[in-house]
Amino acid sequence: MQTKQHTYPSCPFKPEELLGRDPITLNSENTFRTITGHTVLITGAAGTIGRELALQICACRPAKVILLDQSETALHDLDLFLRQKFPQTDLHCCMGNITDALRMSELFSSMRIQIVFHAAAYKHVPFMELHPYEAIKTNILGTEIIADLAVSYRVEKFVYISTDKAIRPASVMGATKRFAEIYLQYLSSEYPDPTRFVITRFGNVLGSNGSFLIRFARQIQEGGPVTVTHPEAERYMMTATEACQLVLEAAASSKGGEIFSFDMGQPVRIVDIARRLILLSGLKPDTEVEIQFTGLRQGEKLTEEPAIDPAASKEQSGKLKSIPFAPRTGGCLLQRMSELQKALDSGQPERMVAVLKAAIPEYISANSPFTKLDKAPSEQTT
């Protein structure tokens, strides 16, 4: 089955034109066999990744697809779109918040879910630096609720959509995604049967909701200026189609207890993407459309690190790489989870972030008011 490339209605450019490399395409036969005849839950289904996952999964003739999101309009639009495109699919669109434990329990008890793709999360780095309560509640405690239910209801496979920003995090968002990864590794070691936990990590998704690509396109349309944070800022880039291929192939090939990523090539300078977009618009950068540098925002690194250590990874197929979960002990982690809940109850952002830093020693804030909570290098433990 050939994977179809999808364009983004809010962006006039094809994201794959801006990668600086050839798009990655995987053989989808394994995915088809994994999804066909199974009941699948996608959380965060109305987001960019969730929507693309829904499209690819519905094409694989699943027994049932449950799409969960708290965004009414976006979920309603997705429901109408998929029912027209896949009229034979048993589709259930459910409004709900992953932090609502009772609602999530009712969902799992009634649907006999076999595979979970957990994409629901808050993702915007500078914005979550201002809202650690929401980032922790959704990205960590919401993941805990969904993952615990997956174990309780004997879900076959749980695939978590993470990010390269979880590697030595410099932001609240990255730290919450890393904490959730650690919790899933704990569950994997404590409850190895039957739920198999898989983590996928990837870089920035070009053309995703709220991404700089959409902002650049709008700024060019308005005549500029195009605002870039830093002339040397660079990111690993993927398209939504590539990201979902990664997620689905990981679900198909993993036996559990692994972290997957693509070899995404070299990171791309964001200013180079801005210049390419201006040229694709038939205009000249710096003369017809100005580029302005505004400075790195809260929580942002100048460059990201590879999603997994290339030296420690093994090749699965094509550019797909994996590493096994690290062994985890549960006592300290469960204590940190309890401390996080108490910190949330306190309403004090610094207390919340302090718990994250205690749980993730490599979490060092960048361009953030939480930098003052970081230990001096001589105080850090390895």
Domain boundaries, the chain: 27-203+238-263+305-376
Catalytic residue of the set 123, 165, 321, 357: 165
Task: Label residue 292 exposed, middle or buried (CB < 10 Å: 0-12, 13-18, 19+).
Answer: exposed
Eight-state DSSP code of residue 165: G
CA 310 from chain center: how many Å?
Answer: 20
Rounded Cα gap, residues 338 and 301, in angstroms: 30
At 195 the pLDDT is 96
Q: Residue 60: CB partners within 8 Å, gap ≥ 6? A: 1, 31, 32, 34, 35, 36
Catalytic-residue membership of 165 = yes
What is the number of H-type helices and E-type strands within the chain? 13, 15
The angle subtended at Cα 327 by Cα 324 and Cα 332, nearest 5°, is 140
At 378 the pLDDT is 46
Let me know how long the chain is. 382
At 4 the pLDDT is 44
Helices 212-221, 270-280: inter-axial angle, 10-degree rounding: 40
Residue whose token pair is 């580029």: 291
Residue 293 near residue 230, CB atoms below 8 Å: yes
Instruction: Give the Cβ contact number of residue 109 at 10 Å.
Output: 12
Domain 27-203+238-263+305-376 sits in CATH at: 3.40.50.720
196 DSSP β-pair partners = 157
At 330 the pLDDT is 66
Per residue of the chain (382 residues), give pLDDT as tens.
Answer: 444 444 433 445 676 666 666 666 766 778 888 999 999 999 999 999 999 999 999 999 999 999 999 999 999 999 999 999 999 999 999 999 999 999 999 999 999 999 999 999 999 999 999 999 999 999 999 999 999 999 999 999 999 999 999 999 999 999 999 999 999 999 999 998 899 999 999 888 877 777 788 889 899 999 989 999 999 999 988 888 888 888 898 889 888 999 998 777 788 899 999 999 899 888 999 999 999 999 999 999 998 887 666 655 565 555 778 888 987 666 788 899 999 999 999 999 999 999 999 999 999 999 999 999 997 554 544 3
320 DSSP β-pair partners = 262, 317
At 209 the pLDDT is 76
Residue 304 near residue 296, CB atoms below 8 Å: no
Nearest CA-CA partner of 159 in 195, 112, 204, 206: 195
At 1 the pLDDT is 42
Rounded Cα gap, residues 272 and 147, in angstroms: 40
What type of residue is 258?
A: E
Residue 369 near residue 162, CB atoms below 8 Å: no
